[in-house]
Amino acid sequence: MSNNFYKPDNNDRKNLRYYFAQYCSATSIHGTQYLGERGRSLIERLFWILVITAVSTLCVILIVKTYKKWVTSPVIVTFATTETPISNIPFPSITICPEVKTDPDIFNYTDVYVKRMMKKKLHYFEKQMEQSISLVCQENDLPFGDFSGYNDFIEDDGVYLLITSAPELDPIGISAVSWKGDKKKPDDYLDFLFTREGVCYNFNMLNVEDILRDPEEYSQNVSKKVNKIRGWSLDGGYPKISVNDSYPRRTVFTGLDGGFSFNAMFVNGSHLDYVCGDSLQGFKVVLHHPADWPNLDKHFRVPLDEAVHVGIKPRLTTISDELKSYSPENRKCYLSDEKRLLYFKVYTQNNCMEECFANYTLKKCDCQAFYMPKFHDGPICGPGKRKCIEESKINYIEVDGDKCACLPSCTYLEYDLELTQTNWNWHAAFDVLRKTGLSSTIEIDNIHLSRLAVYFKDMQFLSAERHELYGIVDFLSNVGGLLGLFIGFSFTSCIEIIYFCTLRLWCNYKKYGRRYWSGEPELVDGKEE
């Protein structure tokens, strides 16, 4: 009885050993043939077990690293193989902010400020104007530069006073703006704009109605000219229409013949205010994408009586079609219609950051600065909230940065600048005109004139494109290469394992029976009678 009970068990072990030897001799996996080869000593088998284990472990480690790289860094940015003409991109938007905030003939901020510091009584108009102008006055080095005692909130009428008290852009009619050689008056090219600097002027930005969801709340800022988008989109660029019919404006030429210039930027010497402003007088200028809200943190200066020439080198980054199916978190960017902003119609990283700052300021200060995008009837911060706004600007990225998730746009355009600055001896030209009697009516003794020129340096530039670093095919190819390099494993090897564990086993069972399922000739030929 006992012999009949144990004999099938011993036979099963023999079948398993022979069947494993058959697999080792047939498979393409490196080193396994030595494990199943008959007549090999134990030390040889142990050696090959260690070798296979070591190389398999190293292979798994490298596969894990490849997988992490595929998951965390699926995108690579490479240069395009061909250059892009400048006519394919918008000319930058140019925002110009005078350092002079008020016309002293309308309101003299310094006189009123000194009266307040000396505890003198202020008239109602002086109080109202001082509250308004304080919104745009910069901190200075004066020991009494203090905004305590001001109102925490201000009405729309108070903000409007910034406009009525601002000096005229070209009061004596000598300024001129040129675009691609076409010279006109400043008002013909420049739009009115509100920023944290107060009254500014802009060239080539999208209309406020195309940028903001609630432009009525920014009604003082709505362009006097209706510059509607004509055929352009952030992701798609320009259609096949004439360069001159496009908006935002674009150009095909380099240098001043294809660029922007503002000649005789006027400042009245009697308007200079070193209490409201600082000692660096002139103009603040920022160049930005036409769809971006101007960020004055990135400004450069045009000083009084100087000429500044700005050469532009564009940097364009686009996205390949295969990356558009990726999630924003994996490709590390947003398509223009992928993330909806609360205040802005157009998503850009800059607009997202502006909105994040505005929302954080509203949460911390219970109001928003007059220049921030907002909804109708939102509370406007007065000068008494100035410190709160400044603290919000420092802290909002650290506190709410992750919540805002302001990734870059998948298609974005930036402009690198090369500035050249020199003294402009415009007085000499006026002296010549005076002697000839051509400019006898213009008084130049107490005025300052500056000049700004902006243009592309080259007719073409090399753009960049986001591509897949590892697609699914690339990942499988890399994994297959590692498996083949270290252990000779392939997709066919996987099928071999499945075949030996299923189909071959079942066929052997049908052909040789349960006791001899390995099909080993040594067992089959030695069947017991």
- Predicted local confidence at residue 526, as pLDDT: 60
Judge whether 174 and 264 are in contact, CB under 8 Å: yes
Q: Which residue would you say has higher pLDDT here, 511 or 152?
A: 152
- Predicted local confidence at residue 460, as pLDDT: 96
Which string of b and e fits 450-474 if b means at least 16 CB within 10 Å?
A: bbbbbbbbeeebebebbebbbeeee
Out of 3-7, 159-163, 268-272, 420-424, least confident range: 3-7
Of 362, 345, 341, the C-alpha closest to 353 is 341
Q: What is the per-residue pLDDT across 266-296, written as a single tens digit (0 to 9) for each?
A: 999 988 888 887 778 999 999 999 999 999 9
Q: What is the per-residue pLDDT across 426-462, written as a single tens digit (0 to 9) for each?
A: 888 777 766 666 555 667 778 999 999 999 999 999 9
Tokens of 445: 């003794």
Question: What does the pLDDT average to over 133-144?
Answer: 68
- Predicted local confidence at residue 177, as pLDDT: 97
DSSP 263: E
Report whether pLDDT(309) > 90. Answer: yes
Question: What does the pLDDT average to over 57-72?
Answer: 87
Confidence of residue 356 (pLDDT cuts 50, 70, 90): very high
pTM: 0.80
- Predicted local confidence at residue 6, as pLDDT: 42
d(CA 378, CA 490): 65
Tokens of 44: 């040889």
d(CA 357, CA 395): 9
Judge whether 15 and 508 are in contact, CB under 8 Å: no
Report whether pLDDT(147) > 60. Answer: no
Could you give the domains of the chain? 29-73+472-489 (no CATH), 79-468 (2.60.470.10)
What is the DSSP secondary-structure string of 128-169? HHHHHHTTTPPP-S-TT---TTS-SEE-HHHHHHHHHTSPPS
Q: What share of the chain is helix, strand, coil (3-state, %, to 5)?
A: 40, 20, 40
Question: What does the pLDDT average to over 18-32?
Answer: 82
- Predicted local confidence at residue 499, as pLDDT: 86
Q: Which residue would you say has higher pLDDT here, 486 or 443?
A: 486
Q: What is the per-residue pLDDT across 360-409, written as a single tens digit (0 to 9) for each?
A: 999 999 999 999 888 767 789 998 898 999 999 888 888 877 788 899 99
Q: What is the per-residue pLDDT across 75-111, written as a single tens digit (0 to 9) for each?
A: 888 898 899 999 999 999 999 999 999 998 899 888 8
d(CA 43, CA 388): 77
Confidence of residue 194 (pLDDT cuts 50, 70, 90): confident
Q: Which residue would you say has higher pLDDT here, 32 or 345?
A: 345
| Structural Rg of the chain based on CA atoms | 38
In whole angstroms, how far apart are CA 392 and each of 116, 206, 376? 28, 28, 22
Question: What does the pLDDT average to over 324-351?
Answer: 90
Helix (H) or strand (E) holding 178, with range, is strand 176-179
Report whether pLDDT(527) > 70. Answer: no
Highest mean pLDDT among 125-139, 355-369, 469-483: 355-369
- Predicted local confidence at residue 5, as pLDDT: 43
- Predicted local confidence at residue 416, as pLDDT: 96
Q: Which residues contact 301 (CB under 8 A, 6 or more apart)?
A: 280, 282, 283, 284, 285, 308
Q: What is the mean pLDDT of the chain?
A: 85
Judge whether 454 and 262 are in contact, CB under 8 Å: no
The proportion of the chain whose per-residue pLDDT surpasses 90, expressed as a percent, equals: 37
- Predicted local confidence at residue 205, as pLDDT: 93
- Predicted local confidence at residue 2, as pLDDT: 45
Of 92, 30, 96, the C-alpha closest to 59 is 30
- Predicted local confidence at residue 253, as pLDDT: 94
Report whether pLDDT(28) > 50. Answer: yes
Please state the three-class secondary structure of 71-90 as a single string.
HHCCEEEEECCCCEEHHHCC
- Predicted local confidence at residue 381, as pLDDT: 93
